Structure 1
Amino acid sequence: MKRLIVVGGDAAGMSAASQARKRVPADRLEIVAFERGNHGSYSACGIPYWIGGTVKTRDELIVRTPAEFRENQDIDLRVRHEVVSIDPHARTVSVKSDSGDFDLEFDHLVLATGAVPVSPPWADVDFGGVFGVQTLDDGDGLASWLTPEVRRAVVIGGGYIGVEMAEALINRGLDVTLLERGEQPMSTVDPDMGALVRDAMAGLGIDVRTGVTVTGLAGAAGRVTGVVTTAGEVPADVVVLGLGVRPNTLLARSAGLPVGEHGGLLTDLRMRVPGHEGVWAAGDCVETRHLITGRNVHLPLGTHANKQGRVAGINIGGGYATFPGAIGTAVTKVCDLEVARTGLREREATAAGFDFVTATVETTNRAGYFPGSAPMHVKLLAERRTGRLLGAQIVGRSEAAKRIDALAVALWSGMTVEEMTALDLGYAPPFAPVWDPVLIAARKAAEEVHGADQ
Structure 2
Amino acid sequence: MATERLVVVGGDAAGMAAASQARRLRKPDELAITAFERGHFTSYSACGIPYWVGGDVDGPDALIARTAEEHRARDIDLRMRTEVTELDLDRGRVRTRELDNGGRESWTGFDKLVLATGARPRRPGLPGIDAPGVHGVQTLDDGQALLDTLDASSGRRAVVVGAGYIGVEMAEALIRRGYEVTVLEQSAQPMSTLDPDMGALVHEAMCGMGIETVCGTTVTGVLTDTAGRARAVTTEDGEYPADVVVLGLGVRPETTLAAAAGLPLGESGGLLTDLAMRVRGQDHIWAGGDCVEVLDLVSGRTRHIALGTHANKHGQVIGANVGGGYATFPGVVGTAVSKVCDLEIARTGLLEREALAAGLRFVTATVEATNRAGYYPGARPMHVKMLAERRTGRLLGVQIVGREGAGKRVDIAAVALTAGMTVERMTALDLGYAPPFSPVWDPVLVAARKAAGAVRAAGA
TM-score class, shorter: over 0.9
1:149-164 paired onto structure 2 within 5 Å: 149-164=154-169
Deviations along 1:66-95, one digit per CA (max 9) or x if unpaired, are 001111x21122110000001111000001
Residue 57 (structure 1) shift: 2.7
Letter in 2 for 1:35: E
**1:239 matches 2:245:** yes
Is residue 410 of structure 2 the alignment partner of residue 404 of structure 1?
yes
Return the offset for 1:124: 5.7
The change in CA–CA distance for 1:341 and 1:125 in structure 2 (over 3 A counts) is: closer
Q: Give the corresponding residue for 1:77.
A: 78
Cα drift, residue 372 of structure 1: 1.5
1:441 — aligned with what?
Answer: 447
Report deviation, 1:276: 2.3
* 1:57 equivalent among 56, 59, 62: 59
Question: Which residue of structure 1 lines up, in the alignment, with residue 210 of structure 2?
Answer: 205
Question: What's the CA shift for 1:204?
Answer: 1.2
Deviation at residue 56 of structure 1 after TM alignment: 2.5
Q: Which amino acid aligns with 1:165?
A: M
In structure 2, the partner of 1:146 is: 150
Query: In 1, Cα distance between the equivalents of 2:142 and 2:48?
Result: 12
SS of residue matched to 2:428: coil
* Matching residue of 2:308: 302
Matched, 1:11 2:13: yes
SS at match of 2:263: coil
SS at match of 1:194: helix
Q: Give runs of aligned pairs for residues 172-321 of structure 1, distance below 5 A.
A: 172-220=177-225, 221-321=227-327
Note the alpha carbon deviations across 1:329-356, whole angstroms, 9 max, x for none.
Answer: 0000011110000000011111111111
User: Structure 2 unaligned runs (5+)?
Assistant: none
Q: Partner amino acid for 1:363? A: A
Counterpart amino acid of 2:444?
V
Query: What is the CA–CA distance in structure 2 between the aligned matches of 1:10 and 1:311, rounded to whole Å?
Result: 15
- Give 1:261 shift: 1.5
Corresponding position of 1:346: 352
Q: Residue type of the partner of 1:135?
A: T
- Name the structure 1 match of 2:372: 366
Match of residue 115, structure 1, among 115, 119, 134? 119
Q: Name the aligned partner's letter for residue 188 of structure 1.
A: T
TM-score normalised to the size of structure 2? 0.97
- Give the deviation of 1:123 after TM superposition: 5.8
Structure 1 residues 173-182 or 363-372, which shifts more?
A: 363-372
CA deviations 1:385-437 (Å, max 9, x no partner) are 11110000011111111111111000111110000111000101111111111
Whichever residue aligns with residue 280 of structure 2, its letter is: P
The residue type paired with residue 202 of structure 2 is V
Note if contact 2:128-2:221 (Cα within 8 Å) is conserved in structure 1.
no
Provide the C-alpha distance between the structure 1 equivalents of 2:377 and 2:307, rounded to a whole number of angstroms.
35
What SS does the corresponding residue of 1:362 show, helix, strand or coil? strand
Q: Check if 1:89 corresponds to 2:95.
A: no
2: distance between equivalents of 1:311 and 1:124? 42
Q: Is 1:378 aligned to residue 384 of structure 2?
A: yes
CA distance in 2, matches of 1:78, 1:429: 53
1:37 partnered with 2:39: yes
In structure 1, stretches of 5+ residues that fail to align are none
| 1:279 Cα deviation from its structure 2 partner | 0.8
- Structure 1 residue matching 2:126: 3-state secondary structure: helix
Give the SS at the match of 1:121: coil
Residues 1:134 and 2:135 aligned together: no
Structure 1 SS opposite 2:113: strand
Is the Cα–Cα contact under 8 Å of residues 266 and 273 in structure 1 kept in the other structure? Answer: yes
Measured after TM superposition, the shift of residue 126 of structure 1 is: 5.1
Q: How far apart, in 2, do the equivalents of 1:412 and 1:82 lie?
A: 38
Letter of the structure 1 residue corresponding to residue 76 of structure 2? I
Partners of 2:213 and 2:351 in 1: CA distance:
22
Q: Is the contact made by 1:288 and 1:326 (CA closer than 8 Å) also made in structure 2?
A: yes
Percent sequence identity is 65
Q: Where does residue 171 of structure 1 map in the other structure?
A: 176
CA contact (8 A) 1:126 1:222 kept: no
Count of residue correspondences: 453
Displacement of 1:289: 1.0
Contact persistence 1:88–1:276 (CA under 8 A): no
Letter in 2 for 1:176: V
Partners of 1:378 and 1:125 in 2: CA distance? 38
User: Contact between 2:129 and 2:221, CA under 8 Å: does it hold in 1?
Assistant: no
Give the counterpart letter for 1:60 in structure 2. A
How big is the shift at 1:125? 4.3
Post-superposition shift, 1:150? 3.2
Alignment match, 2:400: 394
Counterpart Cα distance in 1 of 2:392 and 2:328: 29
